[in-house]
């Protein structure tokens, strides 16, 4: 299907009963966020108070970053600036609180809540409350988990697409039905009733309070909206936006910013067609990338040009140069040997990143992370908080302590913290009581005397036997989806797609989105892009990479 098909309000002429809409068309690191902040400053200079404006992002981390920048832009204190930034769903939730639709925090239920657990117990479904968001897991070759997880994933998809339970057969194959059709429809209705009545007052998931804001016509009490990453909107979110810009209570002006080619959330019904086709009165282009040099831009453009429904829109580079290489790495040792040279030769950027290793699926990312563990390369993992990182909870400090003992050197880096980290992990059964008593032992024996999970022990032993050491934040592993919005000097882009994803590509189900996913992956690199082939025996290469790397204007590199 063409991505503009079915677009609501797809005309570009002004409507008489809606806000003024200005579209900001961007590219990777094209400065669209900076442009939006310039517009915030301009409205402030024209007399708008901070409370008259609201800046919306799609992630909490994005909200935090924008709030920090708004402090300078609006010349106000942190608390006041923080109130001017919100997530898209947060704006809907705030409107529900303001109007009394929701009157206490317990009415908001996250995934894995006691409400989910109680319902699954009632209907006899198994359910793991610690399971990740099912829609995230089902976007690739991972399974959707227990029947309870499958049911909640399907319920979310139906809300995002604004469909009734009877439409569950329309869900993509990656969002399976947990039971036969009639039973699934009945359970979906029972789940909705359970949330509304089982606890004496309604309980709301994220999609529920978005629906409540749409149904109630609830609009943020501001004059000007700034909405970033607009290309990620699903049908439900677009209906909320439409509520904000139309009718008697509408805002005065809305700025919508995004890059249609970075719309990669089809698994949760996100689509670029709203950004491409929605009504607007004016347009601003930010199509020069200040991140990607010319050679990397050429490959990113080539990925887009290789599909008829994706368009680079004149995306260009602000500087020449860059390195693009196709490398065939077949074993973990070949991968990490090559990786060490890039860790050493690339300086970290402002966020401390040196190298990203980006895969198509979570399962592949876990495989790469395991290889790094086995070969002693410390690393971080996209999308996890500090306590869940492979080298979190002081493990890097323990490494520095054991390494210093092995080399019979004084600790130069945070000696008190390092000694404390090691001391806390000395097992109660060990005859050693203090850090200093470890000095007589070999580092490997020290590791065996410490209170560690098997995975932590494996990482420490691997790092102690490795030829080098790097800060875990210098190397990050994850999917191309999870790296969206981030950058590193060097990116390893694995070209293998699992068979299930490849088959969907070949039958045309999601081919255009796969091009956008690989475009996002390639455009994370600010200096060097290495496309890794042949690492996994199973799967197929991303089709445009099968005979070489596509580049701008039909050129093919590294056949």
Check: CB of residue 275 under 8 Å from CB of residue 263. yes
- My answer on whether 161 and 192 are in the same domain is yes
Residue 396 pLDDT exceeds 60: yes
Residues 348-365: tens digit of each pLDDT: 999 899 999 999 998 899
Q: Has residue 308 been placed in a domain? A: no
Q: Has residue 134 been placed in a domain? A: yes
What SS3 state is found at 98? helix
| Helix (H), strand (E) at residue 488 | strand 488-494
Residue 499 is given by DSSP the state H
pLDDT given at position 393: 78
- My answer on whether 403 and 254 are in the same domain is no
Q: How far is residue 266's CA from residue 271's CA, in Å, rounded to a whole number?
A: 6
Residues 514-539: tens digit of each pLDDT: 999 999 999 999 999 999 999 998 88
Spatial neighbors of 385 by CB under 8 A, at least 6 apart, are none
Residues 257-297: tens digit of each pLDDT: 999 999 999 888 999 999 999 999 999 999 999 999 999 99
Residues 135-146: tens digit of each pLDDT: 665 555 555 578
Assign 404 a pLDDT band (cuts: 50, 70, 90).
confident
The count of domains in the chain is: 4
Q: Taking the CB of residue 6, how many other CB atoms lie within 10 A of it?
A: 12
Dihedral of the alpha carbons of 330, 334, 340, 341, in degrees to the nearest 10: -90
Q: Has residue 144 been placed in a domain? A: yes
Q: How far is residue 50's CA from residue 59's CA, in Å, rounded to a whole number?
A: 21
Residue 132 is given by DSSP the state P
- My answer on whether 125 and 243 are in the same domain is no
C-alpha pair distances (Å), 379 with each of 132, 279, 399, 487: 21, 45, 13, 16
Q: Has residue 52 been placed in a domain? A: yes
Mean pLDDT confidence for 148-156: 91
For the chain, give the mean pLDDT: 89
Q: How far is residue 65's CA from residue 484's CA, in Å, rounded to a whole number?
A: 15
Q: How far is residue 432's CA from residue 416's CA, in Å, rounded to a whole number?
A: 18
- My answer on whether 161 and 131 are in the same domain is yes
- My answer on whether 362 and 421 are in the same domain is no
Q: Has residue 138 been placed in a domain? A: yes
Residue 25 pLDDT exceeds 50: yes
Residue 247 pLDDT exceeds 80: no
Residue 433 pLDDT exceeds 80: no
Residue 105 pLDDT exceeds 90: no
Whether the full predicted model's pTM is greater than 0.95, yes or no, is: no
Mean pLDDT confidence for 410-418: 76
pLDDT given at position 15: 59
Given 237, 262, 286, which residue is the final one in a domain?
A: 286
Q: How far is residue 489's CA from residue 398's CA, in Å, rounded to a whole number?
A: 28
Q: How far is residue 83's CA from residue 99's CA, in Å, rounded to a whole number?
A: 18
Given 180, 203, 226, which residue is the final one in a domain?
A: 203
- My answer on whether 366 and 407 are in the same domain is no
Instruction: Tell me the pairing of strands 525-533 and 323-328.
Output: parallel
- My answer on whether 419 and 546 are in the same domain is no
Supply the range of the domain harboring residue 359: 321-377+472-559
Query: Residue 265's closest CA among 160, 177, 335, 165?
Result: 160
Residue 14 pLDDT exceeds 60: no
CATH of the domain at 250: 3.40.50.300
Query: Residue 249's closest CA among 93, 50, 18, 16?
Result: 18
């Amino acid at each position: 299907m063409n991505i503009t098909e079915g677009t609501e309000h797809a005309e570009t002429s002004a409507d008489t009963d809606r806000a003024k809409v200005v579209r900001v068309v961007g590219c990777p690191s094209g400065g669209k966020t900076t442009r939006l902040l310039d517009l915030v400053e301009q409205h402030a200079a024209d007399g708008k108070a901070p409370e008259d404006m609201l800046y919306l992002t799609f992630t909490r981390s994005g909200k935090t970053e924008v709030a920090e920048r708004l402090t300078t832009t609006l010349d106000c204190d942190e608390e006041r600036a923080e109130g001017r930034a919100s997530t898209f769903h947060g704006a809907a939730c705030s409107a529900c609180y303001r109007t009394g639709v929701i009157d206490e925090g317990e009415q908001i239920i996250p995934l894995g809540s006691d409400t989910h657990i109680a319902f699954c117990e009632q209907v006899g479904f198994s359910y793991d409350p610690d399971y990740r968001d099912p829609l995230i897991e089902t976007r690739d070759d991972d399974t959707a988990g227990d029947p309870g997880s499958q049911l909640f994933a399907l319920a979310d998809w139906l809300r995002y697409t604004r469909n009734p339970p009877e439409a569950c057969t329309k869900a993509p194959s990656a969002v399976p039905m947990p039971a036969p059709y009639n039973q699934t429809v009945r359970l979906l209705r029972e789940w909705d009733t359970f949330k509304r009545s089982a606890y004496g007052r309604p309980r709301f998931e994220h999609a529920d309070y978005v629906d409540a804001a749409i149904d109630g016509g609830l609009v943020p009490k501001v004059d000007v909206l700034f909405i970033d990453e607009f290309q990620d909107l699903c049908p439900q979110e677009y209906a909320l936006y439409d509520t904000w810009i139309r009718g008697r209570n509408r805002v005065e002006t809305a700025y919508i910013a995004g890059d249609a080619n970075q719309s990669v959330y089809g698994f949760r019904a996100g689509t670029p067609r709203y950004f491409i086709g929605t009504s607007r009165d004016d347009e601003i282009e930010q199509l020069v990338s200040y991140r990607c040099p010319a050679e990397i831009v050429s490959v990113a453009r080539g990925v887009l040009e290789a599909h008829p429904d994706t368009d680079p829109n004149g995306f260009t580079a602000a500087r020449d140069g860059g390195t693009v290489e196709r490398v065939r790495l077949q074993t973990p040792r070949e991968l990490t040997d090559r990786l060490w040279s890039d860790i050493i030769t690339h300086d970290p950027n402002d966020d401390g990143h040196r190298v990203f290793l980006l895969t198509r699926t979570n399962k592949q990312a876990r495989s790469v992370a395991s290889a790094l563990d086995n070969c002693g390369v410390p690393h971080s993992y996209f999308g996890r908080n500090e306590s869940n990182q492979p080298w979190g909870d002081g493990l890097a400090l323990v490494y520095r302590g054991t390494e210093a003992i092995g080399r019979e050197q004084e600790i130069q880096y945070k000696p008190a913290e390092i000694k404390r980290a090691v001391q806390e992990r000395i097992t109660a059964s060990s005859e050693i009581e203090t850090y200093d008593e470890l000095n007589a032992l070999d580092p490997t024996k020290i590791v065996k005397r410490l209170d560690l999970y098997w995975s932590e022990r494996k990482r420490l032993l691997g790092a102690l036997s490795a030829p080098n050491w790097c800060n875990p934040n210098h190397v990050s592993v994850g999917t191309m989806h999870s790296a969206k919005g981030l950058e590193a000097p060097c990116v390893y882009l694995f070209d293998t797609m699992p068979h299930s994803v490849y088959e969907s590509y070949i039958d045309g189900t999601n081919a255009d989105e796969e091009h956008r996913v690989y475009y996002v992956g390639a455009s994370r690199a600010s200096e060097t892009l290495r496309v890794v082939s042949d690492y996994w025996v199973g799967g197929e290469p991303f089709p445009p990479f099968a005979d070489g790397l596509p580049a701008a204007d039909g050129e093919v590199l590294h056949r």
